[in-house]
Structure 1
Amino acid sequence: MYLRSHFGRQIFTIYHFRSQLFYSTATTLSPVDEPTSAKRTEFVDYLINTLGFSKESAISSSSKVRTLNTTRYRDSVVRILKTFGFDNAQIKDIVTLVPNVLLSRANETLEPKIRVFLELGLSGTDLIALLKRNPNLFEIGLHSRIIPTIDYLRILLGTDEKVVETINRSRWLFSASTALKRFSENVTLLQSYGFSNEQIGKFVRRNAMHFTQLPKCLTSKLNWIEGKVGISRDSNEFFRCFHSIASSSISGIEKKMEVYKSFGFSDTEVSSLLKNQPNCFTLSEDTIRNKLGFFLKELGYKPSYLVACPSLLSLSLEKRVKPRNKVLEILKEKMLVERVSLITLVCYSELRFQDFLRRFEDKIPSLYETYISSMR
């Protein structure tokens, strides 16, 4: 489902007013005196005797609950979780992550939130993983934050399956109170740069948290790609480059550019590399140095060759490039190949490369073992 150019602003306005109409379902505990040690002991005993906690883990979980003003909902909470299909081990996992859940009003606050996520398509395991990333999930507002965020993603991505995929890949998606507002502003920003809704949707699905950074941060990266690197916003390379560096700082990317230059790359070659293989700039500076040292110093390649074959830089040096180069050296030493190049071999899938090795079984029986051992 496609968005209009002003979709982001509209959807946020809708939910701004909507949040005024619905009260938050977050559990709110009234300030009371610190509970007696007897109530704390009772809570620990419940974790041990009912949920199967060890004494140590029960005490640890209990310490995370700052205020134990009531524990009368605990049985109904466990019952609700079982009703939704959570087994004892999963319930224990949930309580370990969020011991405060046992203080929730099961029918009023907990049940509606769990139902929203399960009806969306998350499994029980998915929900536990989501709690690991968002431990305050059961404490934030259902109508003020959870439902608006899910509805926003539904409209943006088009299907519940894509929403679930995005939620499963994202960290702290629901935790920031400003997340929905940032999403809206950044979607509008990318649309203003000419990104299609399909491109934006793919970007969100891979890492929605890029959309929770300040719009001015994204703007600086977009302007840097167009102005400093010289990639037109109308080109496919523009989106690919932005997608690769969105989580990085401009200063960090420029430091990596300097590493390439220190190995003899010209400004034009560095820019070409950024256009053609922007993932080369997601590597750490040490990784870049190691790869360039191998290709330029050990193998004697020129920077221009790496710019022409940038996939060499994107592949694992230890698990792919060096083992296959070892094979190539053996074959050349035995004069069994002439025109096969390293770039050809590293681009083979593992199955295809093993088929390639079988061609030499009769002449070099140990070749496969040599290849396998070189990857260890």
Structure 2
Amino acid sequence: MRSHLFYSTATKLSPVDESTSAKRIEFVDFLINTLGFSKESAISSSSKVRRLKTTRNCDSVIRILKNCGFDNAQIKDIVAWVPKVLLYRANETLEPKIRVFLELGLTGPDLISLLKRNPCLFDLGLHSRIIPTIDYLRVLLGTNEKVVETINRSRWLFSTSIALKMFSDNVLLLQTYGFSNEQISKFVHKNAMHFTQPPDWLTSKLNWIEGKVGISRDSTEFFRCFHAIASSSLSGMDKKMEVYKSFGFSDTELSTLFKNQPYCFALSEDTIRNKLSFFMNELGYTPSYLVTCPSLFSLSLEKRVKPRNKVLEILKERMLDERKSLITLVSYPELRFQDFLRRFEDKIPSLYQTYISSMSSN
């Protein structure tokens, strides 16, 4: 009766097909009875295992996972994502690989997350792929903690056979650019997710920062600038520069703005346009002034800048506090800004409510 779970045909099965069907039914039963899968999820997980020749390793795998510190919920999560893990040779294949990651400092949840990003992780050679990758990162970064953080940030580090080669090629590229090992280590640690990109991709980004915007590779802000634009295309960056130029920014002002606040170039074209329209067309700010106040670009226009500008306009109309500038008021944390408003409760009782209403209406 259970064989109809997988087959609905009147054709007589060959001995091989009957054996495969029986193993698959046995696998589904194991998922249900041992790990608490629902019937539907057990069938779904079973279908992910293409060649199911044996189930004799399942109990050993569960035991190894428990010995490595995984609880029942975590084991179920692992198996649901990578059901073929139950078919590995527990002591010879699975445990040594898990131990390497646990001893490195990856916690159970971290390792599960890594496994979800790289479902074939335990198929990789321990001595040909896993250990060489970890050893390379340990030499480059210096500590196990940084290695763990880098592995967590670099989604594709274990995904392909050439990932480590591209990673090391990009490190060599940075060395040819004249960056010190310390600079490279910090750069890799913060931008690990980009280091499995082809070296040509990294070269284009570095050249754009240095050649197009004029940020010297000797600048302490160079890597911060890279981080801000790493996820953007160069054509998209060029379009953003054109938006700034359409509002009167010179190449020199753009270079200074980018160095002072790289986030300005991580904004979308529409957001840049909206902010510049408000700052320049409504408030009368000039490019040279905005370059000196780059934090304005990192703040929400609707939830922070405009509501506090409304407060400033009211205070100036009542001539109560003309010394404060908008850049000063928007820099206040919320609680400090509310304390500032309380100074005017007697003279303008409605000021706080006007501020709150202004935030909610934007």
TM-score bracket, shorter-length normalisation: 0.7 to 0.9
Larger Rg: 2
- C-alpha distance in structure 2 between counterparts of 1:64 and 1:361, whole Å: 66
Partner of 2:169: 185
Cα distance 1:337–1:149, how it changes in 2: closer, same or farther (>3 A)?
A: same
Partner of 1:225: 209
Partner of 1:145: 129
Cα distance 1:42–1:256, how it changes in 2: closer, same or farther (>3 A)?
A: same
Matched to 2:153, the amino acid is: R
Deviations 1:15-38 (A, max 9, x none): xxxxxxxxxxxxxxxxx9796333
Cα distance 1:147–1:309, how it changes in 2: closer, same or farther (>3 A)?
A: same
Establish whether residue 356 from structure 1 lines up as the match of residue 313 from structure 2: no
Partner of 2:74: 90
Question: CA offset at residue 206 of structure 1?
Answer: 1.9
Cα distance 1:260–1:137, how it changes in 2: closer, same or farther (>3 A)?
A: same
Establish whether residue 288 from structure 1 lines up as the match of residue 272 from structure 2: yes
Question: CA offset at residue 84 of structure 1?
Answer: 1.3
- C-alpha distance in structure 1 between counterparts of 2:171 and 2:320, whole Å: 56
Establish whether residue 162 from structure 1 lines up as the match of residue 161 from structure 2: no
Partner of 1:194: 178
Establish whether residue 70 from structure 1 lines up as the match of residue 58 from structure 2: no
Partner of 1:4: none
Cα distance 1:300–1:189, how it changes in 2: closer, same or farther (>3 A)?
A: same
- Output the TM-score relative to the length of structure 1: 0.84
Cα distance 1:352–1:198, how it changes in 2: closer, same or farther (>3 A)?
A: farther
Partner of 2:33: 49
Structure 1's unaligned 5+ residue stretches are 1-31
Conservation of the 8 A alpha-carbon contact between 2:26 and 2:55: no
Conservation of the 8 A alpha-carbon contact between 1:34 and 1:67: no
Cα distance 1:119–1:302, how it changes in 2: closer, same or farther (>3 A)?
A: same
Cα distance 1:367–1:73, how it changes in 2: closer, same or farther (>3 A)?
A: farther
Aligned counterpart in structure 2 of residue 173 of structure 1, from 147, 157, 160: 157
Matched to 2:182, the amino acid is: E
Moved more, 300-309 or 347-356: 347-356
Question: CA offset at residue 284 of structure 1?
Answer: 1.9
Moved more, 304-313 or 112-121: 304-313
Conservation of the 8 A alpha-carbon contact between 1:269 and 1:307: yes
- C-alpha distance in structure 1 between counterparts of 2:269 and 2:262, whole Å: 14
- C-alpha distance in structure 1 between counterparts of 2:42 and 2:341, whole Å: 56
- C-alpha distance in structure 1 between counterparts of 2:325 and 2:108, whole Å: 49
Matched to 2:334, the amino acid is: E
Partner of 2:193: 209
Aligned counterpart in structure 1 of residue 295 of structure 2, from 286, 305, 311: 311
Aligned counterpart in structure 2 of residue 248 of structure 1, from 217, 232, 235: 232
- C-alpha distance in structure 2 between counterparts of 1:183 and 1:34, whole Å: 47
Percent of aligned positions that are identical? 83
Moved more, 89-98 or 346-355: 346-355
Cα distance 1:52–1:358, how it changes in 2: closer, same or farther (>3 A)?
A: farther
Question: CA offset at residue 373 of structure 1?
Answer: 5.2
- C-alpha distance in structure 2 between counterparts of 1:147 and 1:230, whole Å: 40
Partner of 1:100: 84
Aligned counterpart in structure 2 of residue 269 of structure 1, from 253, 256, 266: 253
Cα distance 1:306–1:148, how it changes in 2: closer, same or farther (>3 A)?
A: same
SS at match of 1:36: helix
- C-alpha distance in structure 2 between counterparts of 1:158 and 1:171, whole Å: 20
- Output the TM-score relative to the length of structure 2: 0.87
Structure 2's unaligned 5+ residue stretches are 1-15
Question: CA offset at residue 370 of structure 1?
Answer: 4.8
SS at match of 1:212: coil
- C-alpha distance in structure 2 between counterparts of 1:125 and 1:103, whole Å: 22
- C-alpha distance in structure 1 between counterparts of 2:65 and 2:358, whole Å: 50
Cα distance 1:157–1:350, how it changes in 2: closer, same or farther (>3 A)?
A: farther
Question: CA offset at residue 364 of structure 1?
Answer: 4.5
Kindly indicate whether structure 1 or structure 2 has the higher relative contact order, using CA contacts under 8 Å at least 6 residues apart. Answer: 1
Question: CA offset at residue 160 of structure 1?
Answer: 0.9
Conservation of the 8 A alpha-carbon contact between 2:213 and 2:254: no
Partner of 1:122: 106
- C-alpha distance in structure 1 between counterparts of 2:148 and 2:130, whole Å: 13
Q: Number of paired residues?
A: 345
4+ runs deviating over 4 angstroms:
32-35, 361-376
Conservation of the 8 A alpha-carbon contact between 1:73 and 1:103: yes
Structure 1 segment 331-342 matched on structure 2, within 5 A = 331-342=315-326
Question: CA offset at residue 298 of structure 1?
Answer: 3.2
- C-alpha distance in structure 2 between counterparts of 1:248 and 1:95, whole Å: 36
